[in-house]
Amino acid sequence: MCWFREGLLDKNPLKLFFFSRHIRCLIIFSLCLGLTCLSGFFHVKNKNYSISKSHEELLNPPMPCHAKTNVMFLKTHKTASSTVLNIMFRFAERYNLTVALPADQLFHLGYPRTFLAHFVEGFEAIGQNYNIMCNHLRFNPLEVKKVMAANTFYFSILRNPIPLLESSYIYYKNNVPAFRSSKNVNEFLASPTKYYHPADYRESIYARNIMWFDFGYDNNAKDDTKYTQAVLEEIEQNFHLILIADYFDESMILLKHALCWDLDDVIYFKLNSRSQDTVQTLTPESEEQIKAWCSLDWKLYLHFNQSFWRRIEETIGLEVLEKEVDHLRTRQKELMETCLSEQEAVRKDHIRNKALLPFQSGAANILGYNLKQDLDNRTLRTCQKMVMPELQYTSYLYTVQHPHKKRKELGLPLLWTSLQEK
């Protein structure tokens, strides 16, 4: 240790030499000690507060996603798809997008015929410049790609075949010979081959494997493992996402994330639903029979139900999903309180504005909505779009996009007497 007291040193040069050496020793030692302490400090700080990002991530932070505006939705039957169509139409209007609408007086894209590009109004002139496609069609990927851009996002929706077949039975009771000639759904399912004839092509598709048919495949095909597996793989290649109607709110959150849309883009009021008194109770035997009778749809549903939940776990996580579903339902409730006089759907004979009356089919009583009377113009238009039935909305968009074409006839009053009032 180097030290001295005042007056201890005299003018002896040798002593001065050794003193100066001791001073240099003290300075060098202090500098080394200080550098060591600083090095240790930064080492501890870096260890305890390290950022868990790679060098590349720090230099190139993840880019925010951008809303996808080229979207094709395969609208399947009796799967809450009318509600999804309404979401798609409202999104198209919000961003001034072009919708591939059915040509002439049709409300579907050639269904049940396999889709062809010329089924779309204006295809010859507009070509591949459509943003949204979502009306009913029987999927044909090569023809759809003629209409939609190369970067189009493809998705569809499935439903458990058990409640789906019961819903089809009621909705198409008057159109399907197999349904029309049986007393109820349980009688039909007790011996379906007694009533069902595959030769009745257009009428019979709703009675067996309707989802399989909508995806473009033979709904009367033999349930062969190799065949079904090939079809499932092909659907996975053609579609980026398959939603599940039985978990509709969860599906909307997953769709929101996949498309990078806002929450309000997927807010909905349930459309084309029917009154509960038209629901027929299936026996346990009938439920098991549906799994066998519609075995292709059953395999389709089971496969994509698994991939649906796997996708959620890999991209969102169940905890975040639950929170976002709560947000969606809260926002939905707010809009229902703003828009609706009864806060719920009402039977067809209770709908005051007949322009908002949904299409009625079979033995079903399709519900609709009554809007509040004192809404300002902007709120009124927003609410009208949310409750507008499928046929009315299709007709309206057709008139907006093709003003020089003859309006699609509905036989109902019009919501707007001119385009300037939209």
pLDDT tens-digit series, residues 255-312: 999 999 999 999 999 999 999 999 999 999 999 999 999 999 999 999 999 999 999 9
Range of the domain at 131: 71-401
Can you tell me the distance from the alpha carbon of 350 to that of 354, in angstroms, rounded to the nearest whole number? Answer: 10
81: how many CB neighbours lie within 10 A of its CB?
26
- What the block records as the tokens of 246 is 């039985």
Alpha helices (H) along 49-160: 55-59, 81-94, 123-126, 141-147
If you average pLDDT over residues 172-177, what whole number do you get?
92
Closest CA to 134 of 75, 70, 94: 75
Model confidence at 52: pLDDT above 50: no
Residues 307 and 155: their CA atoms lie apart, in Å, by 13
Question: What is the C-alpha to C-alpha distance for residues 85 and 108, in angstroms, rounded to an integer?
Answer: 12
For position 319, which CATH number holds? 3.40.50
- Positive/negative CA dihedral, 393, 399, 400, 402: positive
Q: Is the dihedral of CA 275, 278, 279, 281 positive or negative?
A: positive
**Domain annotation covers residue 198:** yes
**Domain presence at residue 232:** yes
Residue type at 317 in one-letter notation:
G
What are the Cα distances from residue 149, in Å, to 109, 131, 257?
18, 8, 21
SS3 371: strand
What average pLDDT does this structure show over 406-410?
91
Task: Return d(Cα 121, Cα 135) in angstroms, integer.
Answer: 12
Which of 41-45, 46-50, 357-361 shows the lowest mean pLDDT across its residues? 46-50
| Burial of residue 293, with CB atoms counted within 10 A of its CB: 0-12 exposed, 13-18 middle, 19 or more buried | buried
Residue 413 resides in a domain: no
- State the Cα–Cα distance between residues 93 and 307, nearest whole angstrom: 31
| pLDDT at res. 255 | 98
DSSP annotation of 79: S
With respect to residue 321, please indicate whether it lies within any of the assigned structural domains.
Answer: yes
Q: For residue range 197-250, list pLDDT tens digits in order.
A: 888 777 789 999 999 999 999 999 999 999 999 999 999 999 999 999 999 999
Mean pLDDT of the region 29-53? 41
pTM, 2 dp: 0.84
Q: Give domain status of residue 191, yes or no.
A: yes
Structural domain tally of the chain? 1
40 falls within a domain:
no
Does residue 51 lie in a domain region? no
Task: Give 38's pLDDT tier (boundaries 50, 70, 90).
Answer: very low
Q: How far apart are CA 31 and CA 23, in angstroms?
A: 12
Answer whether residue 35 is part of any domain.
no
